[in-house]
Amino acid sequence: MKIKILGISGSPRDGNTKMMVEEALKAASKIPDVECSQIDLKGKISPCIDCDKCPVNPPQRHCQLNDKMEKIFPSLIEADGIILGSPVYANTVSAQTKAFMDRCRPIVREGMLLRYKVGGAIAVGGGRHAGQEKAISTIIDFYLIHGMYPVGLPLTLQIGAAGLAWRPKAISDDRWFWQYQGRDITAFDEARQLGSAVALMSKVIKAGLEVFDPRKYIEVFKINKNMKKLIDQKD
């Protein structure tokens, strides 16, 4: 059974967040039959303008904005698991990450197309407690409203992988002492835990869906003709 894991870096530069996502994907790729790919949001997408036109013409086109998000949608829909990483700006996710979240509105309206996928969260801040938890919680909230299953770190008992880096590439130096095993844990260790967890749980969920598919019994939100008519009348 083939599994696809998509890693997304919400950083405006090729730095610490991207490195964390890459480490997570390396670990995920070691699980049998797991295929990994990565997307950087840097310079690719614009914010949602709340035009209320989506979906435009799926599956050929989902959003009326003309940018790289149209190339990201298929990867999201095809993925079994998603690992989303963000640097911490103003105590939460970056503008690029938030724009990505908002731009996923079309695939909610098309029928909750991310439902039953697995999600993992990564955040990198400038201090040990510099907003990583809030950024991770924001990413998890994004997963939950899409009907996804967020996973945490099974060994260090955290809700996501949190790194500390205040300069480019400094994430390689981040480590903390974990008393339960009596050894240092690095930010990359956390990322690898997360990548493995997302890949393994994606396999479990996909295998379960092949045995019993709850989508046959659950009404899924989807834009219908009456709602589309009301939306068009707003203009």
CATH number for 122: 3.40.50.360
Residue 53, domain extent: 3-234
Give the model's pLDDT for residue 218: 79
Residue 115 tokens, joined: 């439902």
Residue 33 reports pLDDT greater than 90: yes
**Rounded CA gap, 86 and 88, in Å?**
6
- Lowest average pLDDT, out of 42-46, 105-109, 123-127, 213-217, goes to 213-217
Beta bridge partners of 185: 176
Residue 226 reports pLDDT greater than 70: no
- Lowest average pLDDT, out of 78-82, 155-159, 181-185, goes to 181-185
Cβ neighbours of 96 (radius 10 Å): 24
- Average pLDDT along the chain: 91
Categorize the per-residue pLDDT at 232 as very low, low, confident or very high, splitting at 50, 70 and 90: low
Residue with tokens 């990450």: 97
Query: Positive or negative CA dihedral for 156, 160, 166, 170?
Result: positive
**Rounded to an integer, what is the distance from CA 31 to the centroid of its chain?**
19
Average pLDDT score over residue span 70-87: 97
Average pLDDT score over residue span 50-60: 89
- CB contact at 8 A, 114 and 146: yes
Categorize the per-residue pLDDT at 175 as very low, low, confident or very high, splitting at 50, 70 and 90: confident
**What angle, 0 to 180 degrees and rounded to 10, lies between the N-to-C axes of helices 95-103 and 69-78?**
70
Residue with tokens 């190339």: 71
Report the percent of the chain where pLDDT is more than 90.
69
What is the value of pTM for the model shown? 0.92
Give the model's pLDDT for residue 230: 55
Alpha carbon distances (Å) from 134 to 93, 144, 205, 225: 8, 15, 27, 38
Give the model's pLDDT for residue 224: 66
* Number of domains into which the chain is organized: 1
**What angle, 0 to 180 degrees and rounded to 10, lies between the N-to-C axes of helices 95-103 and 132-145?**
10
- CB contact at 8 A, 84 and 121: yes
Residue 231 reports pLDDT greater than 60: no
Report the percent of the chain where pLDDT is more than 70.
93
